[in-house]
């Protein structure tokens, strides 16, 4: 007797009772393609999410095999599992989108609190290149004055003086609240 003539309910019953992998493989073969179409419809055509949802539905089918009633339709049971998986995926996507919006809003607030970066960049560009490099080494890269002196080929004292002079120039160009 071929597996085509065996009902879905009998196949699931075999899988439930004897963990018959061939029976479950046949159910996968029968339901994978239609389930994928349904999942794509529920998940707005997102192929990778639809494939993940179908896989998750089959996993949940295996996990909840003891709850399957052979007197009922396998198709309706399986598709209700798939529908719930798709709903979970959509909820997760909504949560993820909401979190991204919150992060973007926080980033905007932080950027506004810091002041515009382009103004800082413009102020740095107004400095002589050697002085600008010293400030970048110190405040962006966190280098010590000894490391900076070795990098620019000057004494530690000369490097400190150039950094002080550059900071003084920046203070005269920036509003007081920007330098806090």
pLDDT in tens, 153-180: 889 898 889 889 888 888 887 665 554 4
Q: Indicate if 100 and 141 belong to the same structural domain.
A: no
- The tokens describing 60, both together, are 């949940």
Number of domains in the chain: 2
| C-beta of residue 43 within 8 angstroms of C-beta of residue 90 | yes
Q: Indicate if 18 and 97 belong to the same structural domain.
A: yes
Q: Indicate if 36 and 83 belong to the same structural domain.
A: yes
Q: Indicate if 77 and 162 belong to the same structural domain.
A: no
3-state SS, one letter per residue, for 73-120: CHHHHHHHHHHHHHHHHHHHHHHHHHHHHHHHHHHHHHHHHHCCHHHH
Q: Indicate if 17 and 57 belong to the same structural domain.
A: yes
Q: Indicate if 28 and 104 belong to the same structural domain.
A: yes
Last residue of a domain, one of 62, 82, 111: 111
Last residue of a domain, one of 55, 82, 111: 111
Query: Among candidates 146, 172, 174, 170, which has minimal Cα distance to 160?
Result: 146
Residue 140 has a pLDDT of: 80
- The tokens describing 117, both together, are 């970066």
Residue 106 has a pLDDT of: 81
What CATH number corresponds to the domain at position 53? 1.10.1740.10
Last residue of a domain, one of 111, 145, 166: 111
Q: Indicate if 90 and 11 belong to the same structural domain.
A: yes
Q: Indicate if 49 and 137 belong to the same structural domain.
A: no
Residue 108 has a pLDDT of: 75
Q: Indicate if 106 and 121 belong to the same structural domain.
A: no
Q: Indicate if 98 and 150 belong to the same structural domain.
A: no
Give the range of the structural domain holding residue 163, as residue numbers without chain letter.
Answer: 115-179
- Digit-by-digit pLDDT tens for the chain (180 residues) are 556 689 999 999 999 999 999 999 999 999 999 999 999 998 886 788 899 999 999 999 999 999 999 889 999 999 999 999 999 998 988 888 888 888 888 877 766 665 555 566 777 777 887 787 888 888 888 888 888 888 888 898 988 898 898 888 888 876 655 544
Average pLDDT of the chain, as a whole number = 85
What CATH number corresponds to the domain at position 141? 1.10.10.10
Q: Indicate if 90 and 146 belong to the same structural domain.
A: no
Q: Indicate if 119 and 170 belong to the same structural domain.
A: yes
């Amino acid at each position: 007797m071929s597996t085509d003539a065996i009902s879905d309910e009998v196949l699931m019953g075999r899988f439930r009772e004897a963990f018959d992998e061939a029976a479950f493989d046949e159910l996968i073969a029968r339901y994978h393609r239609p389930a994928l179409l349904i999942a794509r419809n529920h998940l707005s055509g997102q192929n990778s999410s639809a494939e993940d949802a179908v896989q998750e539905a089959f996993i949940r089918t295996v996990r909840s095999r003891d709850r399957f009633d052979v007197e009922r339709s396998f198709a309706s049971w399986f598709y209700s599992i798939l529908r719930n998986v798709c709903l979970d995926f959509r909820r997760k996507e909504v949560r993820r989108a909401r979190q991204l919006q919150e992060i973007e809003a926080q980033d905007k607030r932080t950027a506004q609190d810091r002041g515009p970066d382009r103004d800082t960049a413009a102020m740095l560009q107004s400095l002589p290149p050697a002085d600008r490099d010293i400030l970048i080494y110190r405040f962006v890269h966190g280098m010590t004055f000894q490391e900076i002196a070795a990098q620019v080929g000057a004494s530690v004292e000369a490097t400190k003086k150039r950094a002080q002079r550059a900071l003084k120039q920046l203070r005269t160009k920036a509003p007081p609240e920007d330098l806090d």
